[in-house]
Amino acid sequence: MKFTARVTSRAFGANRVTSTHRGVRAATLGLASVAMAASFAFPTSLPAAAAPPVTVQEAKAVIEQLQTDAAAIDQQYAGVKEQIKQGNEQLTLKQADVKAQTEKVARIRLQVGQVALAQFQNRSLDTAAQLIVTPDTEGFLSQISTVQKVSENQNSVLQDYQQAQANLAALEHSAETDLAALAEKKKQLESLSDASDKKLAEAKKVLAKLTGEQQRKMADAEKQATARANAAGAAASRDAARGPISGSGKGARALAYAKDQLGEPYVRNGAGPNGWDCSGLTMKAWGSVGVSLPHSSRQQYNRGRSVDKSNLQLGDLVFFYNDIHHVGLYAGNGQVIHAPRPGKSVEYIKISYMPWAGARRPG
């Protein structure tokens, strides 16, 4: 009996353990199901998956695109800054006009006052009565002639005064409008600057994902590629200068100015002497030969005369991309000198490397 009881007790214990394990397992599965459901409901509670490693080529492509985007924004920045410069010049002229018109209104106001005074002094007696009582008939008649002349001109003086006042009000309103527009343009500058900085910050984050060795290899490859491109560009430019497309004296001299800037860094809105953006370089290059250009690739596209790709000459302005956000100087034999983008320097590049938008010949 004792033996049986002991066996029974053991069997019961075994069943109890098995039952307990099943319960635990069921509870565990239940909790796992709840956790899984919760994970679908709140995906942000899960740890982020590890990002796949970035290759040098992938990083290079992304960084170049971000830097190109930043350069495009920089040309918008340059264009707005050029608009502000032109707006300030116009505002200065308007303010001078306001000053001159204010002085004109003051002079006409004095004339109106003189007319009013003459009428006031002679309002009590009519002309016939004054002629009878005055001892100086000849002087009075002379005075009457003057007063009548003033009366004849009265309407004209008043009309002039009213028109001058209206012109002054219009000029003042226009100047105030220009001031408000300039304030908005300055806000736009800040927004564009922030947008460009954001692109460059993203490029730095991509670069930071590479190891130090990968970064060094990418930088070395970039330097070697630039050196090869500049050597090829210089040779092509020398050959072109000896050939039939040497171009006008101004174009060749503008190109020579740009060549002297090779290797100098890209700088947002840069116009020398130690840093350049694309339109700043072309502006100063042509400015060195007496041709004035605005500091904006899009505005430069409206200067000079259009040139076909087959008729390019040294120094011609060559524009790229549909929105015309990039410009360089033709260096001959399919080569261009330009200030490319942040992180780069003034260099030669094949004209075929960027989407063609057109060409212009200043001067």
Q: Integer distance in angstroms from the first to the last C-alpha of the chain?
A: 123
301-339 exposure pattern, b = at least 16 Cβ within 10 A, e = fewer: bebbeebeeeebbbbbbbbbbeebbbbbbbbbbbbbbbb
Rounded-to-integer distance, Cα 2 and Cα 31, Å:
42
Confirm if 310 and 350 have CB atoms less than 8 A apart. no
For residue 263, CA distances in Å to 21, 51, 208, 354 come to: 76, 36, 25, 20
338 is catalytic: yes
SS3 content of the chain, % helix, strand, coil (to 5): 70, 10, 20
273 cis-preceded (ω within 30 degrees of 0): yes
325 is catalytic: no
Copy the structure tokens of residue 285. 């290059």
Confirm if 267 and 324 have CB atoms less than 8 A apart. no
**From 21, 173, 325, 338, the catalytic residue:** 338
**From 21, 173, 278, 295, the catalytic residue:** 278
173 is catalytic: no
**From 21, 295, 325, 326, the catalytic residue:** 326
Which has the closest alpha carbon to 37: 25, 48, 45, 27? Answer: 45
75-100 exposure pattern, b = at least 16 Cβ within 10 A, e = fewer: bbbbbbbbbbeeeeeebeebeebbee
**Collapsing DSSP states into helix, strand and coil, what is residue 74?**
helix
Rounded-to-integer distance, Cα 112 and Cα 48, Å:
83
Residues β-bridged to residue 228: none
Q: How distant is the alpha carbon of residue 36 from its chain centre?
A: 51
Rounded-to-integer distance, Cα 165 and Cα 106, Å:
10
Which has the closest alpha carbon to 251: 342, 148, 330? Answer: 330
Positions marked catalytic: 278, 326, 338
